[in-house]
């Protein structure tokens, strides 16, 4: 008896940008030979960074870079979510608002007046927010930019219907495995490694710099212990709060510790 033919249709994938620097999309393009192998498994039907052939949905998987910063962004992300079976966010901007979320802590109208000659022409939201604040997200991959090996793993896993296998340890663990001398102990430098998710390869400590948490908070963090036991021995409360407001300022863990350090009451629930 003749065997039935397998379904050779590859999952369709859209890579879509919102407010960002394009660095995470470039990480995907920089996968080189791995990207060619990936293209054998999936079909990129919408990827403006790589091709002008931009096909409409529906899509099996949407890969989203960037934060929501304009009213038009809000409409686009809701429409994209409706067209996609699964949606993943990549990078600090998409998962935690990005560095542009620093404007969330100041007077947005004053910022516009200081930066733009005609601020009344700027159609922007007062806050830069992560994608998950507006639509359901099936998986978040952090980093600024993301790690290419983790990115390939996540895309293949999500396209094939399995849970991605990514690191859940903190930066201190790969830091020790690569034999790096602790910058906190040896050089008395401030470092967010103990509360930051691994994935970068512990690059900053290897070059005598403290971790700046570009991969966001680890799965289990003790932010108060880090501040009281390390940061506040080297800087003031306001300086420590600013140290936490870098790549992932919209992360609840960093936001909560910032408010504690500055004695700011959390916003009332509506």
Q: Where does the chain hold its CATH 3.40.50.700 domain(s)?
A: 12-160
Q: Are 194 and 226 in contact (CB under 8 A)?
A: yes
Q: What is the pLDDT of residues 23-60, one digit of tens each?
A: 999 999 988 888 888 888 899 999 999 889 999 989 99
Q: What is the rounded average pLDDT of the residues 183-212?
A: 92
- What pLDDT is recorded for position 143? 92
Q: What is the rounded average pLDDT of the residues 97-105?
A: 87
Q: What is the rounded average pLDDT of the residues 97-109?
A: 87
Above 60 in pLDDT, residue 7? no
- What pLDDT is recorded for position 208? 93
What is d(CA 106, CA 129) in angstroms, rounded to the nearest whole number?
14
**Tokens standing for residue 207:** 């070059």
- What pLDDT is recorded for position 35? 83
- What pLDDT is recorded for position 244? 87
Q: What is the rounded average pLDDT of the residues 4-23?
A: 82
Enclosing H/E stretch for 89: strand 84-90
State the alpha helices, DSSP H only, in the chain.
Answer: 23-29, 33-39, 71-83, 91-96, 108-115, 148-160, 172-177, 183-187, 203-206, 223-229, 237-244, 252-262
- What pLDDT is recorded for position 73? 96
Q: Options 1.10.10.350, 3.40.50.2300, 2.30.30.140, 3.40.50.700; which CATH number does 12-160 get? A: 3.40.50.700
**Tokens standing for residue 128:** 């830069």
Q: What is the pLDDT of residues 240-254, one digit of tens each?
A: 988 888 888 888 888
- 10 dihedral zone (left: phi>0; alpha: psi -120 to 50; beta): beta
Q: What is the pLDDT of residues 209-244, one digit of tens each?
A: 999 999 999 888 889 999 998 899 889 999 998 888
- For β-strands 139-141 and 84-90, DSSP reports them as parallel
Percent of the chain with pLDDT over 90: 60
What is d(CA 192, CA 246) in angstroms, rounded to the nearest whole number?
11
- What pLDDT is recorded for position 59? 96
Q: CA of 28: how far to CAs of 18, 68, 135, 220, in Å?
A: 16, 21, 23, 28
Above 50 in pLDDT, residue 4? no
Q: What is the pLDDT of residues 139-185, one digit of tens each?
A: 999 999 999 999 999 999 998 888 898 888 999 999 999 999 999 99
Percent of the chain with pLDDT over 70: 95
């Amino acid at each position: 008896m003749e065997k039935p033919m397998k379904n050779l249709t590859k999952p369709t994938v859209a890579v879509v940008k919102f407010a960002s620097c394009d660095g995470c999309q470039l990480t995907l393009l920089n996968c080189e030979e791995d990207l060619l192998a990936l293209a054998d498994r999936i079909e990129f039907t919408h990827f403006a960074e790589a091709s002008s052939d931009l096909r409409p949905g529906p899509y099996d998987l949407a890969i989203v870079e960037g934060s929501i910063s304009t009213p038009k962004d809000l409409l686009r992300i809701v429409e994209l979510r409706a067209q996609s079976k699964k949606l993943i966010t990549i990078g600090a901007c998409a998962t935690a608002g990005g560095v542009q979320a620093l404007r969330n802590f100041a007077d947005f109208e004053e910022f516009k007046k200081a930066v733009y000659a005609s601020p009344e022409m700027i159609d922007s939201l007062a806050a830069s927010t992560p994608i998950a604040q507006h639509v359901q997200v099936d998986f978040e991959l952090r980093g600024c930019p993301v790690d290419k090996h983790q990115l390939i793993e996540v895309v293949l896993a999500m396209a094939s219907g399995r849970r991605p296998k990514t690191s859940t340890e903190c930066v201190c663990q790969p830091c020790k495995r690569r034999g790096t001398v602790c910058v906190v102990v040896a050089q008395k430098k401030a470092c967010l490694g103990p509360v930051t998710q691994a994935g970068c390869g512990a690059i900053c400590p290897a070059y005598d710099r403290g971790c700046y948490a570009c991969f966001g908070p680890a799965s289990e963090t003790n932010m108060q212990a880090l501040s009281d036991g390390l940061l506040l021995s080297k800087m003031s409360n306001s300086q420590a709060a600013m140290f936490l407001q870098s790549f992932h300022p919209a992360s609840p863990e960093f936001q909560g510790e910032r408010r504690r350090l500055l004695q700011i009451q959390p916003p009332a629930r509506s």
